[in-house]
Amino acid sequence: MVTPTIAPGSWEAAERELGYRRGGPINIGWYCSDRLCELGLGGTTALRWEDHQGAEKVYTYDQLRTRTNAFAQWLRSLGIKPGERVCLFMDRVPELYLGFLAILKMGGIAQPLFSAFGEESLWTRLDNAGTAAIVTQKKHVLKVRKIRDKLPELKHVIVVDAAPGTLKGDEVALAMDALPALETFDVYPSTAETPSVLHYTSGTTGQPKGAQHVHYSLISQYLTSRVVLDLKPGDVYWCNADPGWVTGTSYGIIGPWACGVTQVVLDSGFQADKWYAFLQKHRVSVWYSAPTAIRLLMREGAELVKKFDLSSLRHLCSVGEPLNAEAVIWSQEVFGRPFHDTFWQTESGCIVITNLPGMAVRPGSMGKPFPGIEATVLDPRTYQPYDGPGRVGLIALRPGWPSMMRSYWKNPTAYQNKFKNGWYLCGDRASIDPDGYFWFVGRDDDVINTGGHLVGPFEIESALLEHPAVAESAAVAKPDPINMEVVKAFVTLKPGFEPSSDLELEIMNAIRKKLSPLAMPQEIEFIAALPKTRSGKIVRRILRAREFGEPEGDVSTVMEE
Amino acid sequence: MDDLTKVILDYVKREYIEEGDDREVGLDTPLISGGIVDSFSMVSLKRFVEKKYAIQIPDADATPAAFDSVRKIAELVERFQAVKA
């Protein structure tokens, strides 16, 4: 494990602003609720939530404090102990946001998971984490029931919206808003290195890995929220990301609430006019979105934007995958300001390369390293930084910023493999121009970035092989105008099965249900044989290169028969 | 309910609603904005109607708004059936 060090300057400033003293207690749950009340913001709206039917709930910081106290006390009374993993498996309902803080307040490790995960994706992550409790909704508990027998460490299944008589076995109902507000709670005295959040992320090989973060991550998340997202007192802030992914926690819960701003949440699928109406209705001033969403909005046209008063927007940011130049230029035209691209990942915990407010945005560029982050591009042969600009290499960060992951859960080898020559490797390729701007080129591995979410080919291929018709499979990225990349699967069939559109759809739906909609191949190509090395290993890079129209590279050891 | 809307409704219930989920889904239930079908899952729903009714729906027409209810999907299918005819 790399011991974090503090970069000179910015991180210490954030510590001072937050009143944190080295070696003292630091609990994200307290900092995002109680501290704001101590600063006199108890009456300020912390969360304004709305669902697709227009139902609303509003919580002030004081209500956030007393309700998370009550939620935390309730979890503690169940017997959940500090350090145990508590999974949040919900749509974007208030219980997800408040539950996250409550888990941290009672010393648990919050493990948010995307609610669209199918039972196999869910099981993989709960099993690896040894999760002790899961907080979910009645529509998602059905998936939990299917795998409960295979999860001996899962002691508590908590349903936040259970109708009377609908629970099974030892499942427990919790109506969060019905819990009496709790004025005082003995917040767990976590310190800087106390584990806080476990976020799963996919790699090229093996099953997803749990990036484990600590309470000290707050320092980075607070400072980048204030500086990069430009959050100021009085702001109304909307982050489009689901807290099942790291953006939705670092910048959909921790950062903005540590800054004391009003967050708005829309628990609804995408629809351009509804999004614009939401921005208008809540007078959103800072909007953190994603390239996929921006491209979907672009597709709906500029005329639609003119029907809404979006004059409240002051600052726009984007994350997930590289923001194309056209999207930056379009946003300047229709919103009167550009989206600012930000680059980071589950493991970094905070924005590390970015276009800061006021910085000249070069459309298509990732921007520059955040002050306090040392970033470079390494020669992939030597793992040394290039001497001059313009050459494509591996994006690398000098370890030691506060929110860097501290380990992969139960996988120290994978963690160690992320470091070379004293640099942390992000797994992405880029170049740096003479003025220090980074320009994204692509992934350095076989991971598929679809709509800003990383999907591992191994997990998809394993699920494909469970289908009775599939003999062998390879999952690769395919370019897509909206999602940047989507999953494409190459499949060979077992004897007795013939390629057909019916079979393709059947396999697509099987993967969607087992894993998630993100992992579902949007195209399946049935082929006679997959390209393999002489030792029998499937060579995904050739299939990927064909999809992207790129050179296939060295094929001297590859066989396709 | 005509045959077209019934086929699509049955398919949505079978493929996108978890067994045991008691949510009611009707012709006008919001599918995309209601979180029943997301933009990724929409691809398999589009593929189903294209295959079932032997039509091709261009990506520009396959918007979240056009797929937001069974009734709207049926209207889209009818439009492209008419184009084909």
> Mind listing the pLDDT tens digit for each residue in A220-239?
999 999 999 999 999 999 99
Asked if the model's pLDDT at residue A241 lies above 80, the reply is: yes
Proportion of chain B above pLDDT 70, given as a percent: 98
* Residue A95 maps to a domain: no
Looking at the DSSP bridge assignments, the partners of residue A353 are A343, A369
Mean pLDDT for chain B overall: 91
Q: Are residues A142 and B19, on separate chains, in Cβ contact within 8 Å?
A: yes
Distance CA A250, CA A260 (A): 14
Beta strands in A152-256 (DSSP E): 156-159, 172-173, 195-201, 209-214, 236-239
Please count the structural domains in chain A: 1
Asked if the model's pLDDT at residue A318 lies above 70, the reply is: yes
CA atoms within 13 Å, Cβ hemisphere of A226: 17
pLDDT for the residue A133: 98
> What is the complex's ipTM, to 2 decimals?
0.93
| Per-residue pLDDT tens digits for A30-56 | 999 999 999 999 999 999 999 998 999
CB atoms within 10 A of CB A178: 8
* Residue A508 maps to a domain: yes
- Compare all CA atoms of chain A with the CA of B31 and give the residue at the minimum distance: A269
* Residue A34 maps to a domain: no
Q: Are residues B44 and A508, on separate chains, in Cβ contact within 8 Å?
A: yes
pLDDT for the residue A561: 63
In the numeric block, the tokens 């470079």 are attached to A376
Distance CA B28, CA A360 (A): 46
Looking at the DSSP bridge assignments, the partners of residue A493 are A470
Chain B residues in contact with A270 by the CB 8 A cut-off are: 32-33, 39, 64
Distance CA A81, CA A213 (A): 18
Q: Are residues B35 and A91, on separate chains, in Cβ contact within 8 Å?
A: yes
Distance CA A503, CA B47 (A): 12
pLDDT for the residue A291: 94
| Per-residue pLDDT tens digits for A509-527 | 999 999 999 999 999 999 9
* Residue A545 maps to a domain: yes
The answer to whether A296 contacts chain B (CB < 8 Å) is yes
Q: Domain with A460 in it: what CATH number?
A: 3.30.300.30
| Per-residue pLDDT tens digits for A353-367 | 999 998 888 998 999
pLDDT for the residue A9: 55
Q: Are residues A501 and B51, on separate chains, in Cβ contact within 8 Å?
A: yes
Chain A residues in contact with B65 by the CB 8 A cut-off are: 271-273
Q: Kindly report the pTM of this predicted structure.
A: 0.93
Asked if the model's pLDDT at residue A203 lies above 90, the reply is: no
Distances (CA, A) of A200 to A37, A191, A207, A488: 32, 23, 10, 22
pLDDT for the residue A80: 98
Residues in Cβ contact with A398 at an 8 Å cutoff, skipping those fewer than 6 apart: A373, A374, A375, A422, A423, A424
Asked if the model's pLDDT at residue A8 lies above 60, the reply is: no
Inter-axis angle of helices A501-514 and A119-129, nearest 10: 30
pLDDT for the residue A5: 44
Considering only CB atoms, B38 lies closest to which of A269, A274, A522, namely A269
Burial of A205 (0-12, 13-18, 19+ CB in 10 A): exposed
- Compare all CA atoms of chain A with the CA of B68 and give the residue at the minimum distance: A271
| Per-residue pLDDT tens digits for A161-196 | 998 889 999 999 999 999 999 999 999 999 999 999
Chain B residues in contact with A483 by the CB 8 A cut-off are: 40
pLDDT for the residue A322: 86
Give the pLDDT band (50/70/90) at residue A430.
very high
Q: Are residues A451 and B39, on separate chains, in Cβ contact within 8 Å?
A: yes
Looking at the DSSP bridge assignments, the partners of residue A286 are A237, A315
CATH superfamily, with its number, for domain B3-84: ACP-like (1.10.1200.10)
Report whether A60 contacts A46 (CB < 8 A): yes
CA angle A469, A473, A479 (to 5 degrees): 120
Name the token pair of A395.
């994006």
Q: Are residues A296 and B23, on separate chains, in Cβ contact within 8 Å?
A: no
Strands A419-420 and A315-318: unpaired
Distances (CA, A) of A287 to A193, A257, A351, A354, B58: 31, 15, 15, 15, 31
As a whole number, mean pLDDT of residues A246-255 equals 98
* Residue A455 maps to a domain: yes
Report whether A430 contacts A365 (CB < 8 A): no
* Residue A10 maps to a domain: no
* Residue A189 maps to a domain: no
Asked if the model's pLDDT at residue A204 lies above 80, the reply is: no
Q: Are residues B40 and A501, on separate chains, in Cβ contact within 8 Å?
A: no
The answer to whether A232 contacts chain B (CB < 8 Å) is no
pLDDT for the residue B39: 86
Chain B residues in contact with A91 by the CB 8 A cut-off are: 35
Helices (H), A403-500: 412-416, 457-465
Distance CA A436, CA A454 (A): 27
Asked if the model's pLDDT at residue A217 lies above 90, the reply is: yes
As a whole number, mean pLDDT of residues A74-94 equals 98
Say which amino acid occupies A132: A
The domain of A460 spans 448-559
Mean pLDDT for chain A overall: 94
